[in-house]
Structure formats: structure tokens, C-alpha cells
Structure 1
Amino acid sequence: MSIFADIQTTFTRRDNALNQLLVINVLVFAVLVVLGAVLYLTGSSSAYDILLRQLALPSDVPGLLRHPWTVLTYAFTHEKFFHILFNMLNLYWFGMLVREYLGDRRLVSLYILGALVGALFFVLSYNLLPVLRPGLGVPMVGASGAVTAVIVAAATLLPDYTFNLFLIGPVRIKYIAAAVVLISIAGINGANPGGQIAHLGGAFLGFLYINQLQRGRDLGRPVIAVGEWVNGLLHGRPRLRVTHRSPQANAAASKRGGLAQPPQEEIDLILDKISRSGYESLSKEEKQKLFRASQQ
């Protein structure tokens, strides 16, 4: 199967949001690398700068008003190999957890909201903080703000989940998230203060998103609604789902922002399966049900 067929399969499969986010980032990076090389060899490097300005988030308000779409495009744009490498690795590791427990749509809405709040923190910092005013106009690219939102969200959702880190061993993800936040704070007085502040904006959104979801408020609903509207335009009709629930189940779902609680019988069966085969034997749906039950 060709690369193009693989890419097409990625975007035609349902419940594949994490891979789609990864592929979009990699495709944009690959296109920029190829165009940058071609434009350099043809003596048209200035055209590359013009192209990048259409994607990078400007820190000055006039520039942002001229390029409002950059509040999202910057979060899918990378120029340096190690920048995209570490962002995509973190997105994959932590995005898998969010996707398993909250589903594809909430992963996408978390990524988008993290990008938007990161952009907000970035622009406000350069326009309101006197120490950063000399750098006003500096652009930003990279998914770090959105990825930090996913990292902190996963740590807020499952603080004691453990990753086995190379040369370190098992580490609870709440400590990984704390380290990410501390590194961003420490980097504010470095070469990229606005970018580090954008990371903190993403971290704030990640914590707030899960905190509010557990209280029954889904901050990602507007993002999901826009996605469904765009999907309806592309496919010619909205996607409809028919469900049959008791009034009690609907009330519970409403209280928890759509996180309907599974019956106790199902939870008992899942717990029995864990006792027999371990947690890793659970399917994605079983893990989501177990998480929803833990929120009662």
C-alpha cells in the first residue's frame, strides 16, 4: 500500500482522531521542509517567509487581525525536527490515555482548546507585560501548547497512571506533568518566553477541562458542535445517532456533561475481568465505562 493510500485510510477511518492529529502535523512539517529546500535552491527564500507568516501566530494584535486563522494553524506547524518529534511523542503517549477514557471527540476538542488558550496567553503576554514589549511582533509555531494541555489533562484524569521511562523506570504521570509545567516556568526568562507562557496556557486549559468535565460541564462542546457542522457540510448531511435511554439515564448523563453512568452489573463484570486478567486486558470501551463509574 502506498503512503498516500495509508494517509487516505487514516482520514477515512472512524475513531481515529489521535492518528489524524499526528498525521496532520507531520504532513505540514514535511511540506514545509520540501518547499523550504526547493525555494532555497531556486533563490526564492523570501517566498518561504511569506508562506510561514500565513501559518505562524503573530504576537502583535494588528498582525493577528490580518491573519486570524493562525490561532489554530500555528498549532499544526513546526520547523525543527526535534520540536515536532518530542511534541508528537508526547501527543501519542498522553493522547492515547485521553482517547481511551474520554473518546476521540474530546481528545480533539482538548487539543483545539489547548491551542486557543495557548495562543491567548501568548498574545496577551506580549501586549500586556512590559518586559516582553520589545519583542512584540515575534511569531510562534508549534503544537507545544496544545500538547501540554493533553499532558496535564491526562495527569488530572489519571494522576497515578505509570509510564516506564527510559533510564528512569516507572514514573506516575502526575510527576511528569509537574515537571513539564516547571520546565516551562523556568524557561520564561530564556530565549522563548512567549512560547513558555503559551505552554502554561495549555497546562491551565488541560487541568480546567478535566476539572469541569468531572463536575458535569464539557468545555469542548462548542468545538464538537463546529466539527459536526463541518462534517455535515463535507458529507452533505449531518450525522445522526439514535439512542434509547431511560429518563433516569438521560438525567445522569446531563448532570455529568454526557458521561452516562454504566449499570452496576457491567462494572462488576469489568472488575472481575481485571481480577482474572489484569487491567491491560480491558478494551477501550470497558476502560471508559470504568472511568465513568469512578466519577459517581
Structure 2
Amino acid sequence: MNSTLFEELKFKVFKSGNPIFFYIGINTLIFVVMALLGVVIFLSGNPSLALDGLVREYLAFPASLERLPLRFYTVITYQFFHEGFLHLLFNMLWLYWMGQIFLDFMKPRQFHFIYLSGGIAGALFFCAAFHIFPVFAANISTATVIGSSASVMAIIVASATLVPDYTIRLFLIGDVKLKYLALAYIVLDLIGVASVNAGGSFAHLGGALLGFVYIKALQNGKDWSNLFKKKSKLKVVRNEGYKQSATSKENTVAQHEIDAILDKISKTGYDKLSKEEKDTLFKASKH
């Protein structure tokens, strides 16, 4: 039974092609491994091995420009480490909820791009803010940021920008449109820049900005996630004896229709769809 569960989890994370499961799986796996290492270090009785300090030193993203040449890789690694269980839990819950909405209208390739580039934008925003505002000058040499919050924020804001009037139901609050949920988070982070977690708030704002700008560019016909996509070469093969079946033709037409609807959503938003187009998309999602 345990073997079956392990194989199922392995499939969902690494083979299903679902980026939500992939990032939740990677973040959770890293957290569990680090927690177990922490237990081993604790039991060894060696106080010099401070695991949190090592993570902050070598895997968190630093504000100091002098440290970046030797810590350039942290622009990626910082996105996959968390300070505690609750930090991980809430990030992964929001990634799951918002990721499901995102993938209803967008492609896995675009999810990967926004998650990673949102984290990068968050790190750069954090670094820039600590150098721009004098109040942080004394902390630049030691300040670091860690966690997937900027990446998750990019997914949240991208979803809210794409389908702003999409409604979700929150516990004790009721129905809330995505645009208001994203706005509330942004306001909280703006307030948070005056708190002890100013670095985290700046990173969130950087991720939010990336998510917003990406969708706006997409609606103007520019998909940045295509920058590194290889163009396939088409080869026409003449085959006189091949006849396409009626079912195959119907499936091809249906797929073209779905692709056209998804393109329309990316350019004008879900709310611009006609009732017939929404029904077509809903039926397709059932398959």
C-alpha cells in the first residue's frame, strides 16, 4: 500500500505534467528533507551546525550586490525554501487554489514561466528596494529573502488580471471576485513594507507586478513564455490512401474551436465570451 501511494505521488509530481503538483511536490520534498536534517543536527548536539543559518547564507537571495556574484543561483533556489511549516502550508494552498483557476484558461508552459519569472522579479524588486530606500541601508549586508510567496503572488495576480470577475468562495467571507482578492493582498503587502518582513513584502509586490504585466502583454499578442520555445519544422508527406474518419474530423474541429476560445480569453478575458462559448469550454473541461 505504501509502495502504491509512493508511486502515485511520484507520478503526480514528476510525470503527470501538471505544474501545480510539480511545484507543490518539490517545495514539500525540500521542506521535509531540511526538517529531517535539522533533527539529525539537533540530535548530534553540535550547535555549530545551524541549518537555518546555512540556508540563509547559501540558498536565500541576498540584498547585497557584493554577494550576488557568488550567490547568483539563489535567484532560483530561494523560491523553494521556507522558514516554517505554516509558511509552506499557506503558500502551497494558495498555489493549488489559484493554480487550478489559472490552468482552466492557460497552458502549463505559461504556468512554469510565471512561477519562475515571478520569483525572479520578486527577488530583484526586493534587492532594488533595499538599495533605493535609505531606511534599509544599514541592513543591506545581512538582509535576505526566502520562500515561494513571490512566485505564488505572480500566479494570483496573473489569474486576477486574466479573469478579474471570476468568483471564489472564502471561509467566513463568502463570494469574492479575484480582482478584489488580489487587490487586498497588494494593499497588505504595501502596508507590510513598514514591518519586520519588509523584504518579503517587496518580493511579493515584484511577483505581483510580473503577473500583471505578463497577462497585459499576452492580451496584446505577446506571449513571453514562447521566447525559448523551439519552432517545429513541418514536413508534408503525400499519402493518397489515407482517409480521415468522421470522428477524427469532428475532434479536430472541436479542438480548433477550443483553441480559438482560449485565445480569445487570453486577449480579452473570460467575461467577453458569449454564453455558447462558455458552454463549449465547460463541456470540454469535463473531458
Same-fold call, TM > 0.5? yes
Instruction: List runs of 5+ in structure 1 lacking aligned partners.
Output: 229-238, 245-258, 286-296
Give the partner amino acid of 2:144: P
CA distance in 2, matches of 1:77, 1:283: 34
Distance of aligned partners of 1:12 and 1:22 in 2 relative to their CA distance in 1, 3 Å threshold: closer
Q: Once the 2 structures are TM-superposed, how far is the Cα of residue 162 of structure 1 from its aligned partner? A: 0.6
Distance of aligned partners of 1:206 and 1:53 in 2 relative to their CA distance in 1, 3 Å threshold: same
Q: Choose 4-13 or 139-148, whichever is displaced more.
A: 4-13
Give the partner amino acid of 1:26: T
Q: Once the 2 structures are TM-superposed, how far is the Cα of residue 10 of structure 1 from its aligned partner? A: 2.3
| Aligned 1:258-277 pairs, distance under 5 A | 261=260, 271=276, 274=279
Instruction: List runs of 5+ in structure 2 lacking aligned partners.
Output: 237-257, 263-272
Counterpart of 1:61 in 2: which secondary structure?
Answer: coil
Q: Once the 2 structures are TM-superposed, how far is the Cα of residue 45 of structure 1 from its aligned partner? A: 4.5
| Corresponding residue to 1:85 among 85, 89, 112 | 89
CA distance in 2, matches of 1:76, 1:218: 25
| Aligned 1:280-295 pairs, distance under 5 A | 281-283=283-285
| Aligned 1:1-296 pairs, distance under 5 A | 1-2=2-3, 3-47=5-49, 48=51, 49-136=53-140, 137-222=142-227, 225=229, 261=260, 271=276, 274=279, 281-283=283-285
Give the partner amino acid of 2:30: V
2:144 and 2:199 in contact (8 A); partners too:
no
Q: Once the 2 structures are TM-superposed, how far is the Cα of residue 241 of structure 1 from its aligned partner? A: 8.4
Counterpart residue number, 1:251: none
2:82 and 2:147 in contact (8 A); partners too:
yes
Compute the RMSD of aligned alpha carbons: 2.9
1:33 and 1:79 in contact (8 A); partners too:
no
CA distance in 2, matches of 1:13, 1:84: 23
Counterpart of 1:164 in 2: which secondary structure?
Answer: strand
2:63 and 2:143 in contact (8 A); partners too:
yes
Give the partner amino acid of 2:190: I
Bigger CA radius of gyration:
2
